[in-house]
């Protein structure tokens, strides 16, 4: 048992924390209002190797481990949860399945782009296929040397800005789950278009759109993994992706607590800083314990994913579900309390904590709701 971070992990944290403080924090409140995608910062994150950081060096990545990645997402989320999810969706949901299931040609073609400026996204959710992801209506029909895709995907993170999409579609509707296949789709393919842009409660600077496939021509060589194995690709991707969202939730909680600790020391009521009141102290103590517990769940899941990537026979599905469930509910509980302890100031946009509370809510919903996480955990425990 060793809870010691590596020197590399510590430096990644320091580097991303510096970046978040100097580049992300100053615009976080503004882009929450304007819903402007922080493209300049995202391009800098490519330049500094955060976008695609887990990809091996031969594809232009930094070869970073999964704990360092979780820490990077956490540090970004402390200042701006939208920026954090842009990174998490790109790394976990778009780059990772191509690395894990792609052919060498697919990796060379797509991962080298996705470590140097091309944003990726993941298309699973449909109007009728949310938590019941197997109810896919999007179809893919083989026609000579290409597939023809038809259907709509909704709530796609990075949808408005990505150029490479990992897309699930039914190649054989009669087989249910086993009829789903995964594809790599470029935004330039004929029949691809972007639809409705969602106006969200939180993470407003991230791009969430509908993606429409209308007789979309996808070359046969862009099938990701074997035909009929798409559901496995999707579920494996989400198992890992949840660690990114758990790290985002952890960062939101920590960021809110950081704001609170500064606030309670300067806010004076009844003649003394409110940090001197036992209610404040006890609430901060509870938050601290809960955030630290969430952190170890997140890092444990990330470390197990790393060991798995190194060839060890180790599963991390339960761990990532526990990390996401606990971190997301921690983010919601902590930000709600932080707003409360700010009083009226917590409810106005002059302080960042109301944004953090709005941002926290989505972590209990996307990449598997808290209810889905409980299902995954229970399935792993009751065998």
Partner 1 sequence: MKIIVCVKQVPDTSGKVAVKPDGTLDRASMQTITNPDDLNAVEAALKLKDETGCEVIVVTMGPPPAEGMLRELLARGADRAVLISAREFGGSDTYATSQIIAAAIDHMGLENDDIVFCGRQAIDGDTAQVGPQIAEKLGLPQVTYAQDIKKDGDSLTIQRALEDGYMTIKVKTPCLITCIKELNEPRYMSVGGIYEAYEKPMEVYDYNLLKDNPLIDVNNIGLAGSPTNILISFTPPQKGAGQMLEGADQATCDKLAGILAEKHII
Place of tokens 């970073």: 64
State the Cα–Cα distance between residues 59 and 142, nearest whole angstrom: 30
Q: Report how far apart, in Å, the C-alpha atoms of 54 and of each of 102, 116, 183, 286 are.
A: 15, 13, 21, 33
19 binds partner 1 (CB under 8 A): yes
State the Cα–Cα distance between residues 17 and 276, nearest whole angstrom: 29
Catalytic residue among 23, 186, 259, 367: 367
Stated as kind and residue range, the H or E segment containing 274 is: none
| Part in contact with partner 1 (CB under 8 A); list of ranges 58-66, 285-293, 298-306, 361-369 | 58-66
Strand partners, 194: 211
| Part in contact with partner 1 (CB under 8 A); list of ranges 59-67, 85-93, 200-208, 304-312 | 59-67
Q: Long-range contact list for 33-36, CB < 8 A, 24+ apart?
A: 33/204, 33/349, 34/205, 35/199, 35/204, 35/205, 36/205
Smallest distance, partner 1 to C-beta of residue 310, A = 15
Place of tokens 């896919």: 136
Among 3, 4, 57, 266, binds partner 1 (CB under 8 A): 57
162 binds partner 1 (CB under 8 A): no
| Part in contact with partner 1 (CB under 8 A); list of ranges 47-55, 250-258, 265-273, 292-300 | 47-55
Closest CA to 114 of 95, 101, 98: 95
Closest CA to 69 of 155, 9, 19: 9
Please, which residue, 15 or 235, has the CB nearer to partner 1? 15
| Part in contact with partner 1 (CB under 8 A); list of ranges 44-52, 80-88, 120-128, 238-246 | 44-52
Question: Does the active-site annotation cover 367?
Answer: yes
273 binds partner 1 (CB under 8 A): no
**What SS3 state is found at 326?**
helix
Smallest distance, partner 1 to C-beta of residue 61, A = 8
Q: What is the DSSP letter of 341?
A: H
Q: What is the DSSP letter of 133?
A: T
Among 25, 29, 48, 130, binds partner 1 (CB under 8 A): 48
Please, which residue, 11 or 39, has the CB nearer to partner 1? 11
Task: Assess contact for 322 and 304: CB atoms under 8 A.
Answer: no
Among 1, 7, 132, 188, binds partner 1 (CB under 8 A): 7
Contacts of 189 (CB under 8 A, 6+ apart): 216, 217, 218
Closest CA to 50 of 20, 7, 80, 6: 20
For residue 283, what are its two tokens?
């609430």
8 binds partner 1 (CB under 8 A): yes
| Part in contact with partner 1 (CB under 8 A); list of ranges 6-14, 88-96, 287-295, 299-307 | 6-14
Smallest distance, partner 1 to C-beta of residue 242, A = 22
Please, which residue, 65 or 354, has the CB nearer to partner 1? 65
Please, which residue, 79 or 361, has the CB nearer to partner 1? 79
Interacting positions 63-102 with partner 1 (CB under 8 A): 63-64, 68, 72
59 binds partner 1 (CB under 8 A): no
226 binds partner 1 (CB under 8 A): no
Number of residues binding to partner 1, judged by CB under 8 A: 20
47 binds partner 1 (CB under 8 A): yes
Residues taking part in catalysis: 367
Question: Which residues make up the interface to partner 1 (CB under 8 A)?
Answer: 7-8, 11-12, 14-15, 18-19, 47-50, 53, 57, 61-64, 68, 72
């Amino acid at each position: 048992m060793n809870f010691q971070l590596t020197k590399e992990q510590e430096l990644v944290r320091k580097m991303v924390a510096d970046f978040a403080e100097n580049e992300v924090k100053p615009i976080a409140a503004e882009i929450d209002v304007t819903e402007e995608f922080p493209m300049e910062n995202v391009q800098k994150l490519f330049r500094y190797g955060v976008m695609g950081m887990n990809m091996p060096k031969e594809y232009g990545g930094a070869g970073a481990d999964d704990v360092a990645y979780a820490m990077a997402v956490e540090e970004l989320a402390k200042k701006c949860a939208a920026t954090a999810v842009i990174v998490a969706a790109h790394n976990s949901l778009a780059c990772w399945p191509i690395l894990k299931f792609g052919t060498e040609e697919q990796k060379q073609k797509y991962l080298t782009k996705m470590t140097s400026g091309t944003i990726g996204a993941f298309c699973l959710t449909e109007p009728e296929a949310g938590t019941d992801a197997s109810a896919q209506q999007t179809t893919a029909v083989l026609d000579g040397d290409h597939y023809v895709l038809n259907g709509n995907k909704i709530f796609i993170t990075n949808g408005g800005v990505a150029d490479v999409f990992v897309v699930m579609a039914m190649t054989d509707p009669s087989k249910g789950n086993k009829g789903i296949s995964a594809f790599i789709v470029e935004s330039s393919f004929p029949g691809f278009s972007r639809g409705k842009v969602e106006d969200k409660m939180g993470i407003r600077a991230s791009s969430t759109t509908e993606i429409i496939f209308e007789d979309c021509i996808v070359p046969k060589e862009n099938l990701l993994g074997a035909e009929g194995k798409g559901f496995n690709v999707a579920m494996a991707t989400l198992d890992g992706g949840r660690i990114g969202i758990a790290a985002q939730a952890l960062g939101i909680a920590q960021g809110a607590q950081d704001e609170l600790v500064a606030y309670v020391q300067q806010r004076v009521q009844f003649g003394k800083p409110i940090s001197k009141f036992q209610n404040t102290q006890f609430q901060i103590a509870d938050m601290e314990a809960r955030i630290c517990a969430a952190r170890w769940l997140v890092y444990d899941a990330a470390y197990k994913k790393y060991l798995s990537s190194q060839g060890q026979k180790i599963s991390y599905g339960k761990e990532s579900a526990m990390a996401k469930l606990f971190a997301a509910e921690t983010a919601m509980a902590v930000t709600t309390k932080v707003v409360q302890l700010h009083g009226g100031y917590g409810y106005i946009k002059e302080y960042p904590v109301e944004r953090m509370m709005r941002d926290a809510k989505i972590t209990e919903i996307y990449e598997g709701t808290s209810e889905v996480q409980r299902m995954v955990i229970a399935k792993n425990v009751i065998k």
